[in-house]
């Protein structure tokens, strides 16, 4: 370990604004410039004393590497929109079964197929974003257009007329979902990539992801009550409730989703332009060849692959049984009372979401003390305790006990989506060292491609698993004891096993703070600071 003074250099430059104001984005640029580039004082290279703690070398964050809180907040609004849309469509799918009487297996298929296409389009969008050259940057134009597109498509998706056949609902929702997820990709992929390049500092990246995850988690405080909202008597029935709720969600998505595109800037825009060319205009065959080469290279990078495997297991282990939690609470704890059960589904989700806000702050702090890898062990291990507690606490004898596992479960996803994006930022720097290219879009899109690919399998598998348990919606509160037992076993222990394997996968992840700092110094010595 080095005990001498270590440079934390990163020169600060004012961003060049577009000349002619001929688009809506440009209209806001002059005002945003005042917010985005606060006074930095002189631009000397900052130096920080390294200290040894828990066998890690720690480096102070240079002032020019810090992101002002208001910009972290704006970036976090994108997380709120992403989470709200993704969680909403998953939670509202139950309307197809409970409101329209569709077979659970078909509902599971409707949840899976669009996500398969979403997983395919994500890497393509990442490649396009990385290699786009425009006066407004590589990410912002797509984010602005995508926010509007995704809001409109979500609203239309839930305008479901009554009295149609099961096949009609299936095809309407399938086509609508495909359009929605395409719009979602256009917005979310550049947004994710933008977060990877807002700062080059190891710890500031974790703080940024902590703030965005904190704000994004607020969506999870609201969405658990969507089922109860759709059942409100004012709407008449749950299907009509879904249509009105979708309009509100769409308006929020558009209004908040465009803000990161307006107010944020791309720190590595000039470096990307110097290190690469406009590959999009280089010909179709060249683009196809370059895309698949970049895709394969990214997936073969072992540190990144380990992060993908861990996320796949933790997140999709949760998704696989996500529906089971609602079904277990409604049909086991409340004996088939949908309205009462849906309220407690909301209570449990809100407790989990509120706890997650505290967990995010704790995990962000912990990662700066013991490292991102060890912080992941802590957060995932605590969540396993919560999953196991569901077997004992989900009981009709005392419905309020369903709230006990929620705080423990909050550690899983709260820690995951605070730490993993920050760790991928470090991986992107290592990739640039090897390839001489800034490929935030490709890494972000493939990361979420892996998540969504598994998510599609998990959602479809969840529908099949529900059928396998023997659950029958026609029986209402008279489900068989065997069906309820199998539902409870799946709900409690599948995510435990998945999380344990994820811990094993990350155990050999080797990108420490010191390693990340060394990579940064090599990059800045070669191509200069951003």
Does the pLDDT value for residue 319 go beyond 70?
Answer: yes
Do 214 and 360 meet the contact criterion of CB atoms below 8 Å apart?
A: yes
Q: Taking a C-beta distance cutoff of 8 angstroms, is the pair 79, 216 a contact? A: yes
pLDDT in tens, 55-104: 456 778 888 889 999 999 999 999 999 999 988 888 888 888 888 888 88
Residue 150 and residue 261: Cα distance in Å, rounded? 14
Question: What is the per-residue pLDDT across 209-227, written as a single tens digit (0 to 9) for each?
Answer: 999 989 988 887 788 788 8
Q: If you ran DSSP here, which 8-state letter would residue 65 be given? A: G
Arch. (CATH architecture) of 68-527: Up-down Bundle (1.20)
Confidence grade of residue 337 (pLDDT, cut at 50, 70, 90): confident
pLDDT at 460 over 80: no
pLDDT score at 362: 94
pLDDT for the residue numbered 50: 39
* Per-residue model confidence (pLDDT) at position 161: 87
CA 6 – CA 50 distance, rounded (Å): 7
CA-CA-CA-CA torsion sign (435, 438, 444, 445) = negative
- Count each helix (H run) and each strand (E run) in the chain, helices first: 19, 4
Which residues touch 500 (CB under 8 Å, ≥6 apart)? 384
pLDDT in tens, 94-104: 888 888 888 88
- Percent of the chain's residues with pLDDT above 70: 85
Instruction: Quote the CA–CA distance of 297 and 84 in Å, as a whole number.
Output: 32
Residue with tokens 């703690």: 53
* CA dist., res. 325 & res. 492, Å (int): 9
DSSP bridge pairs for 48: 6
Report residue 393: phi and psi, to 5°. Answer: -95, -20
Q: What is the pLDDT of the chain when averaged over all its residues?
A: 81
Confidence band for 249, pLDDT divided at 50, 70 and 90: very high
């Amino acid at each position: 370990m080095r005990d001498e003074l270590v440079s934390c250099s990163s020169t600060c430059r004012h961003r060049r604004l577009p000349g002619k104001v001929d688009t809506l984005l440009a209209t806001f640029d002059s005002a945003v410039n005042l917010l985005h580039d606060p006074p930095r004082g002189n631009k000397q290279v900052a130096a920080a004393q390294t200290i040894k703690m828990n066998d890690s070398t720690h480096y102070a964050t240079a002032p020019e590497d810090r992101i002002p809180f208001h910009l972290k907040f704006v970036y976090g609004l994108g997380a709120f929109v992403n989470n709200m849309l993704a969680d909403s469509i998953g939670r509202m799918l139950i309307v197809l079964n409970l409101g329209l009487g569709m077979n659970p297996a078909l509902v599971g298929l409707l949840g899976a197929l669009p996500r398969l296409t979403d997983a395919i389009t994500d890497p393509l969008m990442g490649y396009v974003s990385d290699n786009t050259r425009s006066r407004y940057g590589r990410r912002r134009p797509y984010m602005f257009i995508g926010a509007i597109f995704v809001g409109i498509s979500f609203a239309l998706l839930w305008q479901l007329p009554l009295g149609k056949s099961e096949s009609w609902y299936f095809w309407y929702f399938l086509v609508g979902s495909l359009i929605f997820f395409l719009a979602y990709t256009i917005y979310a992929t550049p947004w994710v990539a933008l977060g990877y390049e807002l700062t080059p500092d190891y710890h500031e990246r974790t703080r940024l992801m902590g703030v965005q995850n904190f704000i994004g988690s607020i969506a999870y405080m609201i969405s658990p009550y969507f089922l109860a909202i759709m059942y409100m008597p004012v709407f008449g029935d749950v299907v009509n409730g879904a249509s009105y709720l979708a309009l509100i969600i769409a308006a929020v998505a558009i209004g908040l989703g465009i803000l990161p595109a307006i107010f944020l800037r791309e720190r590595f825009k000039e470096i990307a332009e110097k290190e690469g060319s406009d590959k999009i205009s280089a010909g179709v065959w060249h683009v196809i060849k370059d895309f698949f080469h970049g895709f394969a290279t990214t997936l073969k990078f072992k540190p990144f692959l380990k992060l993908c495997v861990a996320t796949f297991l933790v997140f999709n282990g949760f998704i696989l049984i996500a529906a089971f939690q609602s079904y277990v609470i409604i049909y086991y704890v409340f004996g088939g009372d949908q309205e009462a059960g849906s309220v407690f589904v909301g209570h449990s989700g809100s407790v989990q979401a509120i706890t997650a806000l505290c967990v995010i702050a704790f995990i962000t702090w912990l990662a700066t003390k013991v490292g991102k890898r060890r912080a992941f062990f802590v957060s995932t291990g605590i969540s396993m305790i919560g999953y196991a507690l569901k077997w004992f606490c989900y009981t009709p004898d005392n419905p309020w006990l369903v709230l006990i596992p929620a705080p423990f479960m909050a550690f899983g996803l709260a820690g995951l989506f605070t730490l993993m994006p920050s760790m991928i930022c470090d991986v992107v720097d290592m990739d640039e060292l090897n390839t001489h290219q800034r490929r935030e879009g490709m890494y972000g899109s493939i990361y979420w491609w892996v998540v969504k690919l598994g998510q599609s399998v998990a959602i479809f598998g969840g529908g099949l698993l529900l059928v396998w348990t023997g659950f029958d919606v026609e029986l209402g509160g008279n489900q068989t004891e065997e069906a309820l037992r199998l539902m409870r076993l799946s709900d409690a222990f599948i995510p435990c096993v998945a999380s344990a394997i994820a811990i094993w996968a990350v155990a050999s992840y080797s990108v420490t703070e010191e390693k990340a700092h060394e990579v940064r110094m090599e990059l800045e010595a070669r191509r200069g600071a951003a």
